[in-house]
Amino acid sequence: MQERQTKQKQIIYEALQTLDHPTATEVYGWVHNVCPTVSRATVFRVLGGFAASGRALELRVAGNEVRYDYNTMPHYHAHCRMCGRLADVGVKGFSEETFAAMAACGFEVEGYSIEFFGLCADCKKEMGQA
């Protein structure tokens, strides 16, 4: 029983790595193809567990379903307003000054998520053709 749970977790984690910032529903779709016996409830529970234990990030994008990210290092996201896709932006985080300023306000920063809004390359192409 324990072993089966571990296996399910592995598959779900693999889905996170394979899919790019998927929603729980997308993870379920992928996992279901690989292993049809894994239930939707299990996928949701395991994803919640990953988020709680810090193995994955839960990304709450305004107006969208929660997305999951196995990359737990603080990083920026580019959010396409057309298709809702999230992509990692390869830029480094804030300067030390930013954190110093936060600390000066007595605020302890535990992490951050920055989101850029716009159009992804695919959607831009589609817009251009329309």
Alpha carbon of 63 to those of 59, 67, 78, 82, 84: distances in Å? 12, 12, 15, 12, 9
Q: Applying CB under 5 A, which part among 28-36, 79-87, 90-98, 108-116 lies near Zn ion?
A: 79-87
Query: Counting contacts by CB under 5 A, is residue 87 touching Zn ion?
Result: no
Among 11, 19, 51, 123, binds Zn ion (CB under 5 A): 123
Among 35, 52, 82, 103, binds Zn ion (CB under 5 A): 82
Cβ-based nearer residue to Zn ion, 38 or 56: 56
Cβ-based nearer residue to Zn ion, 107 or 122: 122
Whole-angstrom Cα distance, residue 111 to residue 93?
Answer: 11
DSSP string, 3-53: HHHHHHHHHHHHHHHHSSS-BHHHHHHHHHHH-TTS-HHHHHHHHHHHHHH
Q: Applying CB under 5 A, which part among 22-30, 33-41, 45-53, 75-83 lies near Zn ion?
A: 75-83
Query: Counting contacts by CB under 5 A, is residue 88 touching Zn ion?
Result: yes
Cβ-based nearer residue to Zn ion, 82 or 114: 82
38 Cβ contact list (under 8 Å, min separation 6): 8, 11, 12, 28, 31, 32
Binding site residues, Zn ion, CB under 5 A: 69, 71, 80, 82-83, 85, 88, 120, 123
